[in-house]
Structure formats: C-alpha cells, structure tokens
Structure 1
C-alpha cells in the first residue's frame, strides 16, 4: 500500500493506492489521521481510485478513520472507487 496526504482548506486529502490490508495501514496512515484530527481537521476525503484490493482488515481501517472523524463531528468521503471495490463496500 502506498498513500499520500495533504491538508488544504482544513480538509485531509488522502490518496491510497495498491492493496489496503490492515497490517500495512496500521502505522503511518493512522498516525497521519490522528495528527489531522488532533489539529481539528474535521473532513477527510480519501481518493481510492488506485486501490486494487481491500480485505476485511482494510475495511476496518476505513471504519476506524470514519469513527475518528465522526466522533469529533466530522465526516469522511470515499472518492473514485473502482467497480470491484465499490461492490465490496456496498456489500459491507
């Protein structure tokens, strides 16, 4: 998994590419999310256009991000999911 992040206009923009499996995402990605939330960033936009695969642990990571933002009154948006990822997210 590769990711990049940027904060603009008080929005955390994340771009996740490759395979999102929980073990890979637990460290750096969650550190960036926690840092943004601690600085009162309330919106997160996650570009998953280049996400090839996501397993149940990866879905757990997305749910954790959603929970962190919503607990502070914020929101998370998933942008540009592939058809296969979108189907999996709808089922979940």
Structure 2
C-alpha cells in the first residue's frame, strides 16, 4: 500500500461505484463484492513471515483493489490501488 501523499489525494478523488464504496477497508476478513474479478497474487515479506496479496478489479467502475491476507495483522485487508 502506497504512502505517497499525492497518490493518496488522487485516490480520494476517484469515484467508486456503490458496491466498492461499501467495502470495509483495512480490516482482514471483510467481504468484497460479487463484481470484483480476481487477478494475480503475490507473497510479500512482513517481518518474519509472508502475507498473500491478491489483486482485484471491479467490473462496474474499474477500481483496482488489493486484498492483503496477513493472519498476524487484523488491519490488513482491502485497499484501493488505482484504476
């Protein structure tokens, strides 16, 4: 997840469809919605363990999402990464 302030401002201006707007971000186990299409996944090192990050794209509004599944971090989960 990016921490660049300019990128964060750009993401805030994006228009999300109603389904995407309803996704609870940064909470592991939060559900997505049926129009999210799964893409690639990758493993990322988090301290002494690996977390799985899976890419998704919304068929309705085109928003790109990532879901981080890190069992040791309850605040992992959904994040918007762009269009």
TM-score by length of 1: 0.27
Higher helix share: 1
Higher strand share: 2
